[in-house]
Amino acid sequence: MPKVSMTVNGKAVSAEVEGRTLLVQLLRDQLGMTGTHVGCDTSQCGACVVHVDGRSVKACTMLASQAEGSQVTTIEGLAKDGKLHPMQEAFRDNHGLQCGFCTPGMIMSALELVKHKPNPSEHEVRDWLEGNLCRCTGYHNIVKSIQAGAAAMRGGK
Amino acid sequence: MDDAPDLRAHPVRGAVGAAAAHDSAHKHVAGAAIYVDDIPEPPDLLHVWCVMSPHAHARIRSIDLADVRSAPGVIDAVSAADIPGKNDIGPMVAGEPILAEGIVEYVGQPVVAIAATSIKAARTAGALARVEYDVQPAVLTVDDALAQGLFVAPPVEFKRGDAAAALARAPNRLSGTFRIGGQDHFYLEGQVALAIPQEDGDLLIHSSTQHPSEVQKMVAKVLGLAANAVTVEVRRMGGGFGGKETQPAMFAAIAALLAQRTRRPVKLRLDRDDDMMITGKRHDFVVRWQAGFDGEGRITALDMDLAARAGHVADLSPAIVDRALFHADNCYYIPDVRLRGFACKTHTQSNTAFRGFGGPQGMIAIEEVVDAIARRLGRDPLAVRRVNFYGTTDRNVTPYHMVVEDNIVHGLVDELERWADYQERRRAIDAFNRTSPILKKGLALTPLKFGISFTATFYNQAGALLHVYTDGSVHLNHGGTEMGQGLFMKVAQIVAEELQIDVDRIKISATNTGKVPNTSATAASAGTDLNGAAAQIAARTIRGRLADFAAAHFAVPREAVRFRRNEVEAGANVVPFATLAALAYRARVQLSATGFYKTPKIHWDRDNARGRPFLYFAYGAAVAEVLVDTLTGEYKVTRADLLHDVGHSINPAIDRGQVEGGFIQGMGWLTTEELWFDAKGRLATHAPSTYKIPVASDLPRDFRVRLLEGARNAEDTVHRSKAVGEPPLMLANAVFFALKDAVAAAAGAAPSLAAPATPERVLLAIEDARGGAATP
Ligand code: FES
Ligand code: FES
């Protein structure tokens, strides 16, 4: 079986994978990093969003081999020294979750938005989230969380 | 979180009324919350894939699994013939198979289950299963089932007075047919079960289920085991919405069967497409009605038939049809009434519980009637709604002979009307529509009244288990399950309040059939009412023992013992709660207790359709405004104002989240979520690519949500709170009727619109109404 090597959350990893192994399968099944969720298996729901070389990617859409040599960041990699990232804190503090299944993907997706738009309007957040489904919250608090998280990040917290 | 606890006196964190975060919020944001599919996979784990029926209705001539069994990676493959116990998981009516036996009755029905070393191996081997069928004619729709008299349970009837006679003498009469679509649950976490063999042939099952006790019972029955040989555990679900009330039993039982045979752990996780093909959904309904009314629109008589597509077996359909009838009055008094309910047998997925449990379909049916009457009379629908409201002292008896004792709809609707500027906006919108030929606006205010309690009285019971350890920390367990709704947090807050300790001193633990037995499903919105009350009783038992002990220990009267601010006062003596717990232990005081609660007052005589099935009602109302492009049928919800009654809220942040989430989910049901079956009965919309749940950009542009202030449950519920899980879904009725209002403005005539009101349907409704009516 071919071998892939990449950096996941700052740690070098390598694993043997079949050619058709998806990035999300590598993360969850082989590396045991189950914070990245699978909600639809078909690139629709956004529960599996991770960052590959700084860009948000649906990990159920990318082959593990395509991430060869890349820097991958998952939800587990956001907290630093035991302290949650401001976007994570914002979701917790603004009730931006219910069942939590969509949350990791929402947060990873939100971080990509904030990179392009450090101060996104409510409208911009809503539009950006087109590819992230949530069945529980009705999105209202997710939008608020993202705006609060963006504000905290601007504040350099 | 893990820091040493602060034992000094301080206000209790997370007591009742605090807008505390969800108990797992810090884990969810870190990807550290474990769902069933995240449990580290045991060595030797097998994965299951099911071979599904390609036919809506066929006899199974033969099943040959020889090639499957010899395929690479396959360890076992089973069909109905391999089931050692009973192939029956029917929750109400016997005879509901986990694997098809002799006959298949819907496209997608599991026929064969294959366990292999990988899901890919199992799926690949599935192609080698040789199943021969004799295809039979299929019945796919409510109309066909009604025509053929095919039902999964006998029809039911609620009546009061003489509807036929009252209709005959009514000053005005109107009739109609109203079609209401179904809805897929689309919980983000699909169905999943992990069965792990234990000593003595016992099984531990991790199941994503709202009803662990039923999974336990059904697995035992299928495997021919005693219930005590099966333990079911669920820490959390990634959403449930009713779709994990009965449905998980099938997948848990299949995994358990294969685990029993292979003596290896077995996981069955459905991918999204298979989940949507196999599992039941919200029932679609066809409603036929005839109403009599006076010149003001006051209903004098109603005869209504509500027919649901039950699918191939009963599942919970009889109770769901009952609940549709229970809500076909909504907030309105109907003097002479006959309601009939039909659970139609069709060769489709077995439809099941979904947030509201038939209530939403019954409620929107009567709203349709009221709306039609208003349009016939040329009155504002809100005025017609008002004249029909239940009274508080008279005109207050439901079609099932229960007196509505806690009616607050008048005040609530008045308040919403003011807060949302309904009248002002009504005038502005009418003016806009007069001058805007293409774009039309619509506005509607709809109220809701939703009955709280399981209508099967015996389900209204709950148990809890509470331990206090000698360091004052607490372990909490109860029969309710956490699916995101915040139940675990609310129950923990109730215990924190009772013991007057910080909620973070209370360990919330996974629901487990070994800890609290014989539980009811976490359903019917009753999770907090039942489990919160049971936990409160357990906490009071322990507090009582501690108070007795403190009184004796410090030699003060019992009345001088007070629990407050993480401390216990006994006269002039003040000790931290933890200190008292340690002292009590040494004095051999039992620091563990169970609590048991059963809902008072309720009774229901189903044969005579009479009684008091509900302890109380939850109320709410919503105003929605829409903007419709009459050339395309496309629309936008421009504003929504929701006012909802949760009684005295145990956690206003969680309750508000339920209101927002329920409303948007209801909006999806009534607008974009369309289940489409082809002529052969195959669900064509079995993935999010074609089945559209709301996305963030579908939110009302201006979205205002309020909980009714100063509210208190008139009944003695836990802290006078009210159930909130299901009712807010029905606030979305306002969106549907706002769309109808816009269509009426476009067409200049009363429209006929089916749910969901997709843009296509809106466009057709405009064209129909224009063609069918002489434009004034
Ligand atoms: S699982 Fe990847 S988008 Fe849904
Ligand atoms: S919180 Fe449940 S899917 Fe978003």
pLDDT tens by residue, B673-729: 999 999 999 999 999 999 999 999 999 999 999 999 999 999 999 999 999 999 999
* Same domain (yes/no): B590, B618: no
* Same domain (yes/no): B727, B633: yes
Question: What's the pLDDT score for residue A150?
Answer: 98
Measured in degrees and rounded to the nearest 5, phi and psi for residue A73 equal -120, 130
Structure-block tokens of residue B249: 């039993």
Distance CA B721, CA B16 (A): 10
Band of residue B661 on the pLDDT scale cut at 50, 70, 90: very high
Q: What is the CATH number of the domain that holds B517?
A: 3.30.365.10
Question: What's the pLDDT score for residue A114?
Answer: 98
Fold of domain A86-154: DNA polymerase; domain 1 (1.10.150)
B614-636 burial: b if 16+ Cβ within 10 Å, else e: bbbbbbbbbbbbbbbbbeebebe
Please state the domain count of chain B.
2
A127:B32 CB<8 A: no
pLDDT at B487 over 80: yes
Distance CA A145, CA B675 (A): 32
In chain A, whose CA is at the least distance from the CA of B275?
A: A40
Distance CA B175, CA B750 (A): 13
Shortest Cα distance, chain A CAs vs residue B25, angstroms = 5
* Residue among A32, A75, A98 minimizing CB distance to B485: A98
Cis ω on the peptide bond leading into residue B756 (within 30° of 0)? yes
pLDDT tens by residue, A11-64: 999 999 998 999 999 999 999 999 999 999 999 999 999 999 999 999 999 999
* Same domain (yes/no): B700, B683: yes
Shortest Cα distance, chain B CAs vs residue A69, angstroms = 24
Contacts A–B by Cβ distance under 8 A:
180
Answer yes or no: is B414 within a domain: yes
Band of residue B2 on the pLDDT scale cut at 50, 70, 90: very low
Q: Who lines ligand 2 at CB under 6 A?
A: A 97-102, 134-137; B 188, 239, 484
A104:B483 CB<8 A: no
Residues 654-713 of B with CB under 8 A from A: 654, 656-657, 660-665, 687-689, 693-697, 699, 703, 705
Distance CA B372, CA B366 (A): 10
Of all ligands present, the nearest one to the C-alpha of A106 is 2
pLDDT tens by residue, A81-112: 999 999 999 999 999 999 999 999 999 999 99
B273:A140 CB<8 A: no
Question: What's the pLDDT score for residue B9?
Answer: 84
Question: What's the pLDDT score for residue B4?
Answer: 64
Residues of B with Cβ-Cβ distance to A101 under 8 angstroms: 35, 187-189, 238-239, 484
* Same domain (yes/no): B637, B691: yes
* Same domain (yes/no): B420, B527: no
Query: What is the secondary structure of B376-435 as a DSSP string?
Result: HHT--HHHHHHHHB--SSSS-B-TTS-B-----HHHHHHHHHHHTTHHHHHHHHHHHHHH
* Same domain (yes/no): B658, B724: yes
Over residues B336-351, mean pLDDT: 98
Answer yes or no: is B319 within a domain: no
Over residues B500-524, mean pLDDT: 97
Question: What's the pLDDT score for residue B750?
Answer: 85
B29:A91 CB<8 A: yes
Distance CA A126, CA A132 (A): 10
Question: What's the pLDDT score for residue B308?
Answer: 98
* Atom 4, ligand 2: residue with shortest CA distance: A134
Find out whether B681 and B106 touch, Cβ atoms under 8 Å: yes
Instruction: Residue A79: count other Cβ atoms within 10 Å of its Cβ.
Output: 17
Over residues B61-73, mean pLDDT: 98
Contacts of B740-743 spanning 24+ positions with Cβ under 8 A: B740/B371, B740/B442, B740/B444, B740/B765, B741/B381, B741/B442, B741/B443, B741/B444, B741/B626, B742/B440, B742/B441, B742/B442, B742/B626, B742/B627, B742/B628, B742/B635, B743/B440, B743/B442, B743/B628, B743/B769
pLDDT tens by residue, B231-290: 999 999 999 999 999 999 999 999 999 999 999 999 999 999 999 999 999 999 999 999
Helix H, strand E, coil C: the string for B558-577 is: HHHEEEECCEEEECCEEEEH
pLDDT at B515 over 50: yes
* Same domain (yes/no): B737, B681: yes
In chain A, whose CA is at the least distance from the CA of B664?
A: A138
Distance CA B140, CA B161 (A): 35
pLDDT at B773 over 90: no
Structure-block tokens of residue B48: 């299951």
pLDDT tens by residue, B380-417: 999 999 999 999 999 999 999 999 999 999 999 999 99
Band of residue B3 on the pLDDT scale cut at 50, 70, 90: low
Of all ligands present, the nearest one to the C-alpha of A103 is 2
Tell how far the Cα of B79 is from the centroid of ligand 1, in angstroms: 31
User: pTM of the full predicted structure?
Assistant: 0.97
Question: What's the pLDDT score for residue B1?
Answer: 41
Question: What's the pLDDT score for residue A156?
Answer: 63
pLDDT at B774 over 90: no
* Atom 1, ligand 1: residue with shortest CA distance: A38
Reported ipTM: 0.98
Tell how far the Cα of B425 is from the centroid of ligand 1, in angstroms: 42
The Cα diameter of chain A in Å comes to 47
| Residue of A43, A95, A102 to mutate when probing chain B, most B C-beta within 10 A | A95
| Catalytic residue of the set B482, B726, B760, B767 | B726
* Same domain (yes/no): B644, B541: no
Structure-block tokens of residue B361: 């379909």
Tell how far the Cα of A89 is from the centroid of ligand 2, in angstroms: 17
Over residues B339-362, mean pLDDT: 98
Instruction: Residue B19: count other Cβ atoms within 10 Å of its Cβ.
Output: 13
Q: Which domain holds residue B775?
A: 407-457+614-776
Counting residues of chain B whose pLDDT is more than 90, the rounded percentage is 97
* Same domain (yes/no): B514, B427: no
Fold of domain A3-77: Ubiquitin-like (UB roll) (3.10.20)
Find out whether A31 and A40 touch, Cβ atoms under 8 Å: no
Of all ligands present, the nearest one to the C-alpha of B241 is 2
> What is the rounded average pLDDT for all residues in chain B?
97
* Same domain (yes/no): B709, B647: yes
Answer yes or no: is B283 within a domain: no
Where in chain A are the domains? 3-77, 86-154
Give the position of tokens 């848990």. B252
pLDDT tens by residue, B192-210: 999 999 999 999 999 999 9
A138:B663 CB<8 A: yes
pLDDT tens by residue, B740-753: 999 999 998 888 99
In chain A, whose CA is at the least distance from the CA of B698?
A: A126
A138:B664 CB<8 A: yes
Beta bridge partners of B332: B389
* Same domain (yes/no): B698, B636: yes
Ramachandran region, residue B200 (left: φ > 0; alpha: ψ -120 to 50; beta: rest):
left
Question: What's the pLDDT score for residue B775?
Answer: 41
Shortest Cα distance, chain B CAs vs residue A24, angstroms = 13
Question: What's the pLDDT score for residue B160?
Answer: 96
B34:A78 CB<8 A: no
* Same domain (yes/no): B772, B639: yes
Tell how far the Cα of A34 is from the centroid of ligand 1, in angstroms: 14
Structure-block tokens of residue A41: 């298996």
Q: Is B767 a catalytic residue?
A: no
